């Protein structure tokens, strides 16, 4: 699957944006995301605050989020998520957030 806008690059804008409230559900590559969202979003990891280049989660937090979602039976849709999948993920938002906060706190202690 390719970026919806340029049809050239791999899309890198993930469903983390869906989880964290109403941002684009489109599949865009980094370049097109920058063009379409010039304001962008905080370039720090949503959970641990690590500085990032145009992403919402650092690789560590992303891996843990995926792992946790899988453990809950949620398959992470990297392509177009169905409205049902989005609803399912939204329904778990609070739980995901709580888990990730605990996990980050644990990680920083180590
Ligand atoms: Zn693109
Ligand atoms: Zn992080």
Each residue's pLDDT tens digit, 58-69: 889 888 988 898
pLDDT at 14: 52
- Report how far ligand 2's centroid is from the alpha carbon of 67 (Å): 14
Look at residue 20 in the predicted model and tell me its pLDDT. Answer: 54
Rounded to the nearest angstrom, the distance between the alpha carbon of 100 and the centre of ligand 2 is 9
Centre of ligand 1 to C-alpha 110, Å, is: 39
What is the average pLDDT score of the chain?
Answer: 76
pLDDT of residue 22: 45
Q: How far is CA 34 from CA 13, 43, 103, 105, in A?
A: 10, 12, 30, 31
**What's the burial of 26, exposed, middle or buried (CB within 10 Å: 0-12/13-18/19+)?**
middle
Q: 3-state DSSP call for residue 90?
A: helix
Compute CA 41 distance to the chain's CA centroid, rounded to the nearest angstrom. 12
pLDDT at 105: 94
- Cα(13)–Cα(35) distance, integer angstroms: 13
109 alpha carbon, distance to own chain's centre:
24
Residues of the chain falling short of pLDDT 50? 15, 21-24
């Amino acid at each position: 699957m390719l970026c919806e806008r340029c049809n050239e690059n791999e899309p890198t804008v993930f469903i983390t944006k869906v989880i964290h409230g109403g941002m684009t559900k489109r599949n865009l590559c980094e370049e097109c995301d920058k063009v379409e969202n010039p304001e962008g979003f905080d370039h720090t990891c949503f959970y641990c605050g690590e500085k990032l280049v145009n992403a919402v989660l650092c690789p560590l937090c992303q891996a843990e989020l995926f792992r946790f979602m899988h453990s809950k039976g949620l398959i992470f849709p990297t392509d177009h998520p169905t409205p049902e999948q989005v609803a399912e993920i939204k329904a778990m938002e609070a739980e995901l957030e709580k888990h990730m906060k605990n996990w980050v706190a644990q990680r920083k202690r180590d």
